[in-house]
């Protein structure tokens, strides 16, 4: 069955009687034209409503033909009446009665009209209309002036406005025979309000067709989201703005679940074979406690989410037995739905997770809460970045400290050597030597190694040349020219480098010759003179090295001094919106005492195991540059600042994480406030993003109060179901009835423990499905009664 | 020849039809089946009888009028063309079923 069905509850098939007793002419009626019109416009529900008369024969034969094209024809009549002002208007009455009763009704109407016709004025008075309503199951549709009809060519807003009037009771203003309602009917008939309504609105939802060769001219393109039956129409007028629409305003949905097929995988399977049909709009899963509602929710999730999806893992344990069944989902094109191929939103039980997080005080539990609210949230993002930088700083500091140590050793060694040399020179001060200072040996601009490496560029040039030869002439010539220029330039530069190096090398050789000659002269004087000459020669180098090391040491010390090893909490802490403009925020903070009152001996920032016995319990403020350096230096001195130690820094530090709803910490909020805020935000988000085509929610009403369900949740569901397929598990009568599901899925647990599911529309003609809903949703009898009171009268389901 | 008797049962509250000796309720389903029969009948093949009762005469008139309407070419042609497409739909479904059972 289609979800939306074309409806026309006002069509003429035979000559009628006008209000003035004249003949109301019908043109071009034939069964052929009638059926073709229904077929062409795919009318699924129609009513034959001739003017002031009922031709039961036509009704019966048309009904039979229409049935062959799956169109339901209802029995009706268009009646003339007067307001108290004397102004004439029409209304259409459509009946649902057994054949015998229709037979009697037809006879009554026809006889009444006949007798009225004699007077020259066919008018049914209020009392006669009320008699009809008292005795028959009827829908009354006031029929205004079509030339002024609001819905002649309605836009969406006009249509919705008109449909709101339907909801206010204007389609079925006449109802059950209780006295107060009769009084109300009378007052409505005479009221100014009703008069306005008559002019503006009327029965222009339907064709009022009289010409069967031109049905299309009168066809209103009017659709109904309900079974194409009398009951379906009744059901639809309880929520007209959602259930009626002209074709262009019918929501178009894609990528939704149209069918679930469950099969037993083994004899141990506890879910019986079944096929569950779903609507593209709002599907409501109902059933008694423990019947398997949440199980079905799980089975759907299991079929459309990835196996490792977090939202599944929490449920797997509870429904392990479901593995004995195979579940296949189909989309609207009847294609099997593969996991992760449909964008699916899942409303979650956030309060339970908040309770867990508050109880365990485990940050990860609070991050699970955050994940429900914002899937893209990256925990500890700022903290992780800070720790990485801090580790790098510590490693740089460690390298500098090590360098200072090594320089210190080098300076000491050179100093010792210098002192020894001075002592020897003092002892040899009277030994004559031939002194001649040779200038410092010049250093090469490029080492021989460097020159060798640079020369490899020549090989590269050769390689490029060879490769270029593969190119076509047009591409090659320009590149070869550029390469040739480069080769010349490089060759010149290389020669220049080599020449300069050779010059320096020649100078060095000259100096070596002079030095060797001087040593030769001194060695001819004495052995001591040789020694003195050697020491004098080497001292220059020692002094030079010493000076260099001292200078380096100075720089390193300055570097160490300038190093900032403090911990800035501002670089760790963060707060902000979890969901923009929702009032849902978060904060992540490091414990300030951990940083500002750090016990050097034992703390969770640094690994102190193994050196604790060498440390006291002194407290340092790590946010202070000076004190933090003292702490790090202490660890360095105790050999506890190796790369391994640095890698463990902050490893055991956890952050304080909090979530706030409208500036109030969720841990301090009650379940109702949390759930309300979450539901509202969740759906607002879904409506804004519009990415998810299927939204599932298990027991949405949990923890929230009735006013919220009535005022907010109904509105949310109403908006959401126009955009996505909704599948909601509920126990709540308002969610199950007043939110107006198009389709119900009932979970039934048999006496043998087996579970089965069935899907149905509440307006079914076959059995009173509302009674079934009333039976398995606590408190729904009253809600159903209230919902249908205006339209349906005192039906029996509430008493059953 | 199709014989239809109109009967009053349960102290006159209920109208029933005896169609070729088979008793049926006066309801939409019965009328539908009668129409299916009427459409293939010749004009003189229907015999409706009822006790001498003014009210039952009305039922007789209704059935006779339905028969007359069904006998019209317009109805017959429309009915038969729909029946034809209904049959071919059934045949297609039958083929599917056979295909699946193989």
Nearest CB among B26, B75, B82 relative to A69 is that of: B82
Predicted pLDDT of residue A794: 38
Predicted pLDDT of residue A277: 95
Predicted pLDDT of residue A425: 86
The span from the CA of A276 to the CA of A262, in Å, is 8
Q: Residue A118: how many CA atoms within 13 Å on its side-chain side?
A: 5
The span from the CA of A574 to the CA of A657, in Å, is 10
User: Is residue A309 predicted with pLDDT exceeding 90?
Assistant: no
The pTM (predicted TM-score) of the whole model is: 0.69
User: Is residue B97 predicted with pLDDT exceeding 70?
Assistant: no
Between A204 and A291, residue with greater pLDDT? A291
Q: Does A57 touch chain B (CB under 8 A)?
A: yes
Q: Does A32 touch chain B (CB under 8 A)?
A: yes
Helix, coil or strand: residue A667? helix
The span from the CA of B59 to the CA of B49, in Å, is 10
B32–A61 CB contact, under 8 Å: no
Task: Give the Cβ contact number of residue A380 at 10 Å.
Answer: 18
Q: Residue A383: how many CA atoms within 13 Å on its side-chain side?
A: 21
In which band, very low, low, confident or very high, does the pLDDT at A176 lie, cut at 50, 70 and 90? very low
Helix ranges (H only) for A166-243 are 179-190, 192-200, 215-218, 230-236, 240-243
Residues of A in contact with B58 (CB under 8 A): 103, 107
CA distance A98 to chain B (A): 7
**Cα angle, residue A94 at apex, residues B74 and A210 outer, rounded to 5°:** 45
Q: What pLDDT, in 10s, does the model give residues A87-124?
A: 677 778 899 999 999 999 999 999 999 999 999 999 98
Helix, coil or strand: residue A10? strand
Q: What pLDDT, in 10s, does the model give residues A683-727?
A: 888 877 778 899 999 888 887 888 888 888 888 898 899 889 999
For chain A, percent of residues with pLDDT exceeding 70 = 85
Query: Largest alpha-carbon pair distance within chain B?
Result: 60
Predicted pLDDT of residue A456: 92
| Selection from A646, A756, A648 nearest residue A287 by Cα | A756
Mean pLDDT value across residues A328-354: 86
Q: Does A70 touch chain B (CB under 8 A)?
A: no
The span from the CA of A489 to the CA of A486, in Å, is 5
Nearest CB among A31, A56, A58 relative to B78 is that of: A31
Q: What pLDDT, in 10s, does the model give residues B36-93?
A: 999 999 999 999 998 888 888 999 999 999 999 999 999 999 999 999 887 666 666 6
3-class SS shares of chain A: helix, strand, coil, % to 5: 50, 15, 30
Q: Does A104 touch chain B (CB under 8 A)?
A: no
B75–A65 CB contact, under 8 Å: yes
User: Is residue A36 predicted with pLDDT exceeding 70?
Assistant: yes
Q: What pLDDT, in 10s, does the model give residues A211-221?
A: 999 999 888 88
Residues of B in contact with A65 (CB under 8 A): 75, 78-79, 82
Residues 32 to 61 of B: which have CB under 8 A from any A CB? 32, 35-36, 58-59
The ipTM value here is 0.91
| Selection from A778, A785, A783 nearest residue A799 by Cα | A785
In which band, very low, low, confident or very high, does the pLDDT at A524 lie, cut at 50, 70 and 90? low
Question: A70 to chain B: nearest residue by CA?
Answer: B86
User: Is residue A182 predicted with pLDDT exceeding 60?
Assistant: no
Predicted pLDDT of residue A175: 32
Predicted pLDDT of residue A797: 37
- Contact pairs from chain A to chain B, CB under 8 Å: 57
Contacts of residue A386, defined as CB under 8 A and 6 or more positions apart, other chains included, come to A571, A572
Q: Does A765 touch chain B (CB under 8 A)?
A: no
In which band, very low, low, confident or very high, does the pLDDT at A128 lie, cut at 50, 70 and 90? confident
Helix, coil or strand: residue A475? helix
| Radius of gyration for the alpha carbons in chain B, expressed in angstroms and rounded | 18
User: Is residue A146 within 8 Å of A152, Cβ to Cβ?
Assistant: yes
Task: Give the Cβ contact number of residue A125 at 10 Å.
Answer: 11
Strand order, beta sheet including A257-264:
A274-277, A257-264, A325-331
Predicted pLDDT of residue A351: 72
Q: Does A749 touch chain B (CB under 8 A)?
A: no
Residues of A in contact with B35 (CB under 8 A): 60-61, 64
Q: What pLDDT, in 10s, does the model give residues A229-267?
A: 988 888 887 777 788 888 888 888 889 999 999 999 888
* Tokens describing residue A62: 């048309």
Question: B71 to chain A: nearest residue by CA?
Answer: A61
Q: What pLDDT, in 10s, does the model give residues A537-584?
A: 788 788 888 899 999 999 999 999 999 999 999 999 999 998 888 888
């Amino acid at each position: 069955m289609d979800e939306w069905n074309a409806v026309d509850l006002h069509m003429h098939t035979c000559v009628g009687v006008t209000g003035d007793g004249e003949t109301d002419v019908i043109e071009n009626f034939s069964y052929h034209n009638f059926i073709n019109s229904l077929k062409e416009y795919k009318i699924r529900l129609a009513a034959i409503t001739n003017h002031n008369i009922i031709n039961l024969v036509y009704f019966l034969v048309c009904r039979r033909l229409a049935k062959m094209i799956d169109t339901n024809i209802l029995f009706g009549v268009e009646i003339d009446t007067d307001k108290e002002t004397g102004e004439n208007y029409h209304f259409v009455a459509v009946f649902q009665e057994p054949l015998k009763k229709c037979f009697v009704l037809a006879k009554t109407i026809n006889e009444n009209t006949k007798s009225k016709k004699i007077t020259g004025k066919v008018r049914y008075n209020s009392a006669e209309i009320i008699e009809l309503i008292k005795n028959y199951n009827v829908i009354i549709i006031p029929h205004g002036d079509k030339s002024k009809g609001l819905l002649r060519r309605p836009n969406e807003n006009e249509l919705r406005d008109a449909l709101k009037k339907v909801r206010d009771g204007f389609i079925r203003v006449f109802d059950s025979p209780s006295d107060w309602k009769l009084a109300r009917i009378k007052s409505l008939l005479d009221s100014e309000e009703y008069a306005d309504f008559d002019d503006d609105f009327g029965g222009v939802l339907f064709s009022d067709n009289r010409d069967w060769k031109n049905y299309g001219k009168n066809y209103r393109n009017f659709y109904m989201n309900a079974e194409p039956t009398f009951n379906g129409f009744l059901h639809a007028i309880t929520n007209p703005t959602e259930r009626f629409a002209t074709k262009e305003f019918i929501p178009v949905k894609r990528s939704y679940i149209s069918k679930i097929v469950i099969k037993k995988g083994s004899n141990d399977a506890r879910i019986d074979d079944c096929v569950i049909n779903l609507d593209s709009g709002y599907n409501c899963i109902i059933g008694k406690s423990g019947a398997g509602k949440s199980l079905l929710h799980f089975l759907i999730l299991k079929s459309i989410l990835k196996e490792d999806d977090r939202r599944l893992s929490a449920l797997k344990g509870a429904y392990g037995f479901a593995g004995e069944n195979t579940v296949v989902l189909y989309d609207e094109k009847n294609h099997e739905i593969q996991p992760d191929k449909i964008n699916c939103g899942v409303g979650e039980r956030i309060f339970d997770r908040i309770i867990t997080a508050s109880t365990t005080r485990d940050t990860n539990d609070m991050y699970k809460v955050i994940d429900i609210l914002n899937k893209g949230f990256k925990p500890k993002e700022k903290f992780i970045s800070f720790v990485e930088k801090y580790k790098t700083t510590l490693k740089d500091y460690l390298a500098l400290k090590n360098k200072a140590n090594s320089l210190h050793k080098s300076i000491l060694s050179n100093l010792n050597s210098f002192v020894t040399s001075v002592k020897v020179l003092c002892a040899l001060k009277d030994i004559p030597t031939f002194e001649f200072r040779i200038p410092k040996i010049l250093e090469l601009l490029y080492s021989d190694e460097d020159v060798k490496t640079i020369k490899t560029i020549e090989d590269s040039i050769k390689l490029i040349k060879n490769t270029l030869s593969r190119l076509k002439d047009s591409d090659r010539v320009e590149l070869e020219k550029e390469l040739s220029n480069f080769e010349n330039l490089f060759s010149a530069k290389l020669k220049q480098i080599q020449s300069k190096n050779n010059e320096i090398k020649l100078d060095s050789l000259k100096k070596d010759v002079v030095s060797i000659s001087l040593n030769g002269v001194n060695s001819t004087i004495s052995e001591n003179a040789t020694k003195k000459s050697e020491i004098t020669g080497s001292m220059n180098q020692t002094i030079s090295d010493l000076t260099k090391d001292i200078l380096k040491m100075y720089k390193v010390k300055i570097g160490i001094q300038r190093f900032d090893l403090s911990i800035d909490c501002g670089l760790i802490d963060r707060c902000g919106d979890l969901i923009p403009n929702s009032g849902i925020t978060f904060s992540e903070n490091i414990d300030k005492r951990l940083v500002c009152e750090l016990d050097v001996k034992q703390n969770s920032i640094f690994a102190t195991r193994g050196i604790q016995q060498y440390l006291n319990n002194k407290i340092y403020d790590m946010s202070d540059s000076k004190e933090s350096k003292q702490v790090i230096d202490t660890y360095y001195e105790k050999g506890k600042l190796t790369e391994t130690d640095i890698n463990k820094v902050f490893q055991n530090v956890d952050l304080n994480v909090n979530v706030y709803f409208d500036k109030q910490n969720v841990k301090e909020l009650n379940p109702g406030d949390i759930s309300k805020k979450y539901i509202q935000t969740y759906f607002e988000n879904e409506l804004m993003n519009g990415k998810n085509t299927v939204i599932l929610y298990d027991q949405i009403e949990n923890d929230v109060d009735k006013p919220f369900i009535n005022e907010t949740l109904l509105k949310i569901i109403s908006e959401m179901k126009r955009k996505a397929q909704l599948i909601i598990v509920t126990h709540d009568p308002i969610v199950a009835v007043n939110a107006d599901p198009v389709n119900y899925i009932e979970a039934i647990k048999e006496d043998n423990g087996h579970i089965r599911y069935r899907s149905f529309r509440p307006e079914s003609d076959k059995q009173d499905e509302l009674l079934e809903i009333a039976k398995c949703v606590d408190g729904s009898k009253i809600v159903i009664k209230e919902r249908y009171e205006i339209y349906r009268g005192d039906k029996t389901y509430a008493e059953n | 020849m199709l014989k239809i008797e109109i009967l009053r049962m349960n102290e006159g509250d209920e109208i029933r039809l005896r169609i070729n000796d088979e008793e049926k309720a006066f309801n939409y389903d019965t009328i539908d089946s009668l129409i299916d029969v009427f459409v293939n009948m010749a004009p003189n093949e229907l015999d409706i009888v009822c006790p001498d009762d003014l009210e039952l005469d009305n039922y007789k008139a209704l059935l006779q009028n339905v028969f007359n309407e069904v006998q019209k070419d317009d109805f017959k042609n429309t009915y038969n063309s729909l029946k034809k497409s209904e049959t071919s739909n059934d045949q297609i479904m039958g083929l599917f079923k056979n295909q699946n059972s193989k």
